[in-house]
Amino acid sequence: MKIGIPKGLLYCKYHPFINTFFTELGAEVVTSPETNKDILNMGVKYSVDEACLPIKIFHGHTAYLKSKCDIMLIPRIMCLNKDEYICPKFCGLPELILNDIPNMPKCITYPIYAFSYNSFRKYIFKVGMCITKNYFKIQKAYKKAMQVQIQYKKGIKNHGFKLNVALVGHPYNIYDKFANMDLIKKLNKLGIGVVTEDFIEKNEINNQIKNLFKKPFWTFTKNSYGFSRYMAVNKKVDGVIYISSFACGIDSVTIELIKSELCNFPFLILKIDEQTGEAGFYTRLEAFADMLERRCT
Ligand code: SF4
């Protein structure tokens, strides 16, 4: 059986688990390529105008794969931590895809509640049963996939740069080079090193949250706010760059929370959508780099 895995949204973070699990079950894993112009164009064609860029890109990956597999995984991620949620678009992702894209193959769309071992295990067994009825094979594949995921170290931490920034935002915006127009390479070219939230301890993020009136409802808000505050307050970096999707409701709240916290600390917001021009994007980075340089001297 060929299982289609779209390389969009949180695939960038969980691909070791996903690929290992299905391969161990005996399925042939078929992935879409890295995001490119054709994928984006297909995504724009199939999704509603109001959707954010990552959702459009996910549509593009799905459309690319639809005729190349027998069954497709459309992850309906509900929550990753207890009492926190991801985003309404993640919760309704299968409905978006199945209503927007015609002639889709059979899809695996069970909800994912990954805040506890038991709830995630239940999900995994339901998914595994779509490929094989062998309980022991699923159990073995799950164990192996977990090991591979735990060993996988994600994150960017550049060394040897005079200036350094915390790069904040959704993982799919940070790791999709096409969507962010190769932002990290551009920053490195300007003499700026980058560090991402993967390099601070979870409990550091949770400590920063105590500063807020109320614990954020969204996991993305918690991580971005906690990481930005920790890096700025402890002077671990010279500035913070937030890469944000145009039309993301969660970002609109998160950015305001960070802005009010950082006060005079250098903070650049880069909005991306399918219309973002590379020249203007680079000019803003140059101006930010100049400002950081002047503050340093
Ligand atoms: S969190 Fe924002 S960028 Fe991510 S899918 Fe939801 S609306 Fe889009």
Q: Whose CA is nearest to atom 1 of ligand 1?
A: 87
Find the Cα–Cα–Cα–Cα dihedral 273, 269, 171, 49, rounded to 10°. Answer: -20
Asked whether residue 157 is domain-assigned, the answer is no
pLDDT at residue 167, rounded to an integer: 97
Place of tokens 């297909």: 42
The confidence score (pLDDT) of residue 82 equals: 87
Residue at token pair 């005996």:
26
The per-residue pLDDT for 99 is 96
Long-range contacts from 128-134, C-beta under 8 angstroms, 24+ separation: 128/21, 128/25, 130/71, 131/1, 131/3, 131/22, 131/25, 131/26, 131/27, 131/71, 132/25, 132/26
Helix (H, G, I), strand (E, B) or coil at 164: strand
pLDDT(212) > 90: no
Q: 257-262: long-range contacts at Cβ-Cβ below 8 A with a sequence spacing of 24 or more?
A: 257/212, 257/216, 257/221, 257/225, 258/168, 258/224, 258/225, 258/228, 258/229, 261/211, 261/225, 261/228, 261/229, 261/232, 262/228, 262/229, 262/232
Residue 71, SS3? strand
Q: Are residues 144 and 203 in the same domain?
A: no
Angle between helices 135-151 and 11-24 (to 10 degrees): 150
| pLDDT band for position 274 (cuts 50, 70, 90) | confident
User: Would you state the pLDDT for residue 153?
Assistant: 86
Which residues, 6 or more positions from 204, have their beta carbon under 8 angstroms from its beta carbon? 226, 230
Do 9 and 147 fall into the same domain? yes
Q: Which of 86, 91, 245, 252 to mutate to test the pocket of ligand 1 (most atoms within 8 A of CB)?
A: 245
- Residue 140 shares a structural domain with residue 198: no
How does residue 115 score in pLDDT terms, banded at 50, 70 and 90?
A: confident
Report percent pLDDT > 90 for the chain: 85
pLDDT in tens, 60-104: 999 999 999 999 999 999 999 888 899 999 999 999 999 999 999
Decide if 158 is inside a domain: no
Q: What is the pLDDT of residues 131-185, one digit of tens each?
A: 999 999 999 999 999 999 999 988 999 999 999 999 999 999 999 999 999 999 9
Per residue in 175-187, pLDDT (tens digit) is 999 999 999 999 9
The pLDDT of 12-25, averaged and rounded, is 97
Ligand 1 atom nearest to 251, measured from its CA: 2
**230 pLDDT above the threshold of 90:** yes
In a domain, residue 174? The reply is: yes
- Least confident segment among 56-60, 193-197, 267-271, 272-276: 272-276
Mean pLDDT rounded to a whole number for the chain? 94
Are both 224 and 133 inside the same structural domain?
A: no
Asked, for residue 156, whether it belongs to a domain, the answer is no
Asked if the structure places residue 254 within a domain, the reply is yes
User: Phi first, then psi: what are they for 285, rounded to 5°?
Assistant: -65, -40
| Residue 117 belongs to domain with CATH number | 3.40.50
CB atoms within 10 A of CB 239: 21
* Same domain, yes or no: 135 and 260: no
Rounded to the nearest angstrom, the distance between the alpha carbon of 9 and the centre of ligand 1 is 9
19, 140: one domain: yes
Averaged pLDDT, 48-69: 96
Q: Does one domain contain both 22 and 119? A: yes
132 shares a domain with 24:
yes
The last residue of a domain, from among 99, 128, 151: 151
Which CATH number does the domain housing residue 233 bear?
3.40.50.11900
Contact 76, 111 (CB under 8 A): yes
Whether residue 79 sits in one domain with residue 187: no
What sections of the chain are H helices per DSSP?
11-24, 37-46, 53-65, 88-91, 93-100, 117-129, 135-151, 171-175, 183-189, 202-209, 219-233, 249-262, 278-296
End-to-end Cα, the chain, rounded Å: 61
Residues in the chain: 297
Domain count, the chain: 2
Mean per-residue pLDDT, 235-247: 95
CA–CA distance, 245 with 228 (Å, rounded to integer): 17
Report the pLDDT value the prediction gives residue 196, as an integer from 0 to 100.
Answer: 97
Domain boundary pick from 94, 123, 151: 151
Cα 246 to its chain centre, rounded Å, is 15
Give 172 Cα–ligand 1 centroid separation in angstroms. 10
Ligand 1 atom with least separation from CA of 220: 1
Task: Tell me if 55 is assigned to some domain.
Answer: yes
- Tell me the C-alpha distance between 251 and 116, whole Å: 26
Q: What is the pLDDT of residue 173?
A: 96
Query: Three-state SS for 29?
Result: strand
Domain that holds residue 279: 163-296
The pLDDT value recorded for residue 248 is 94
**76-79 and 163-169: which strand pairing?**
unpaired
Same domain membership, residue 230 and residue 137: no
- Picking from 87, 119, 151, the residue at the C-terminal end of a domain is 151
Residues 137 and 227 in one domain: no
3-state secondary structure of 257: helix
Please report the atom of ligand 1 found closest to the CA of residue 245. Answer: 3
The answer to the question of residue 199 being in a domain is yes
Per-residue pLDDT, averaged over 236-259, amounts to: 94
Residues framing ligand 1 (Cβ under 6 A): 52, 54-55, 87, 89, 170, 220, 245, 248-251
Q: What is the pLDDT of residue 2?
A: 97
Residues 218 and 274 in one domain: yes
Residue from 280, 241, 248, 278 nearest 262 by CA: 241
